[in-house]
């Protein structure tokens, strides 16, 4: 009697646990990257960090009152409290999604004032919340907006009938509120000026005054994100001084530094206000040019190259020239790939003899040939 035939061995498959492990790793890496980006934004945008903290704390503190109102049957007040919570959440989401933390800060400060007026006028509670709202105005909003909001809040509470038992109480409130507003104004203006100075130092190249490599990475990433949401022409150009090492060897590094400073001045004076100028490293510079396609580059870059050749001189009077490579951002392209194409165009300009401009065709244009 023949023994039953054993089924053919199936081809070994990848264990499910391994696939699941890879999936978990990918998810973990994605979450880690997103968290790193969020932390970086909070570190580089002080107002967004303050808006995030204030809105989060406000939502956490007000939400229990929303639940309580609905539980005891005070539906109307519960809905108003819920609207305030939703408004804080909306301002927070807008600040993160749009990148416009100034608008988010103004909106959050306005909501804080509205919430305080609601507490005093509708719930007929004590005016103590006003002091927190006044402080919030100067921390969250721009100075001009904070002054308007704080003045409006003080006025609205001062004219509220029956809120203060005597003229002395009213006067005390006004004086204390104005002192808090004044201290808030001084503190906020001081913090803003110091933060702006530190921000400038963090993103500027100390020698040339151009923005540095870190600022360039952020700007390129922002331009790619903006292009993804609302496509429009934007280009990048890489500029490299020709035979700069020879100039340094012949005239010294101090002369080389002066040439770099003068080059930066020429570029700033002959580019648009909306263009972004960076020092990439050494004698290499980068221009990010919004609203500029390849045709625009073909006009602007040769003209810039000519101006540099005519105006940039070595200590012995010899003209100092640059080679330039340009690339327009293509659909679906990362900022690193975009910059690499500009760098390749720069290399082509160097290889073709220096002191010239080369442009990289868009990938989709190459594919259509």
Catalytic residue positions? 283
Q: Report the number of secondary-structure helices (H) and strands (E) in the chain.
A: 13, 5
For 187, phi then psi, to 5°, come to -65, -45
DSSP string, 301-343: HHHHHHHHHHH-B-TTS-B--EEEEEEEPPTT--HHHHHHHHH
Dihedral angle computed from the Cα positions of residues 8, 12, 16 and 20, in that order, rounded to the nearest 10 degrees: -160
First vs last C-alpha separation in the chain: 71
Cα 227 to Cα 234: distance, rounded to the nearest angstrom: 8
Non-local CB neighbours of 8 within 8 Å, separated by 6+ positions:
none
Neighbours of 132 (CB within 10 A): 14
Q: Report the residue count for the chain.
A: 369
Cα 360 to Cα 237: distance, rounded to the nearest angstrom: 10
Q: Among 233, 223, 241, 209, which residue's Cα sits nearest to residue 295?
A: 233
């Amino acid at each position: 009697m023949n023994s039953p035939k054993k089924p053919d061995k199936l081809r070994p498959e990848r264990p499910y646990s391994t696939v699941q492990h890879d999936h978990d790793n990918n998810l973990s890496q994605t979450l880690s990257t997103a968290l790193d980006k969020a932390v970086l934004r909070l570190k580089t945008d002080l107002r967004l960090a303050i808006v995030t903290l204030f809105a989060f704390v406000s939502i956490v503190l007000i939400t229990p009152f929303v639940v309580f109102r609905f539980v005891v049957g005070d539906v109307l007040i519960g809905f108003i409290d819920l609207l305030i919570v939703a408004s804080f959440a909306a301002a927070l989401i807008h600040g993160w999604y749009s990148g416009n933390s100034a608008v988010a800060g103004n909106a959050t400060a306005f909501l804080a004032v509205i919430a305080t007026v609601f507490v005093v006028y509708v719930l007929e509670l004590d005016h103590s919340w006003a002091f927190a709202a006044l402080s919030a105005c100067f921390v969250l909003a721009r100075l001009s907006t904070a002054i308007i909001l704080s003045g409006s809040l003080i006025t609205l509470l001062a004219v509220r009938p029956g809120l203060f038992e005597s003229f002395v109480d009213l006067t005390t409130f006004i004086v204390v509120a104005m002192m808090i507003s004044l201290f808030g104004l001084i503190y906020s203006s001081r913090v803003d000026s110091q933060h702006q100075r530190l921000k400038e130092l963090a993103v500027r190249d100390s020698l040339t005054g151009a923005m540095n490599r870190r600022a360039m990475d952020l700007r390129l990433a922002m331009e790619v994100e903006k292009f993804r949401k609302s496509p429009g022409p934007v280009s990048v150009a890489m500029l490299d001084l020709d035979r700069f090492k020879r100039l340094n060897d012949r005239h010294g590094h101090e002369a080389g530094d002066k040439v770099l400073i003068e080059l930066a001045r020429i570029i700033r004076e002959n580019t648009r206000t909306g263009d972004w100028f960076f020092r990439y490293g050494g004698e290499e510079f980068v221009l990010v040019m919004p609203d500029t396609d390849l045709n625009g580059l073909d006009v602007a870059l040769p003209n810039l190259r000519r101006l540099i050749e005519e105006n940039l001189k070595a200590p012995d009077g010899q003209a100092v020239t640059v080679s330039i490579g340009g690339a327009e951002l293509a659909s679906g392209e990362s900022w690193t790939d975009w910059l690499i194409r500009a760098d390749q165009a720069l290399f082509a300009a160097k290889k073709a003899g220096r002191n010239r401009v080369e442009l990289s065709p868009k990938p989709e244009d190459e594919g259509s040939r």
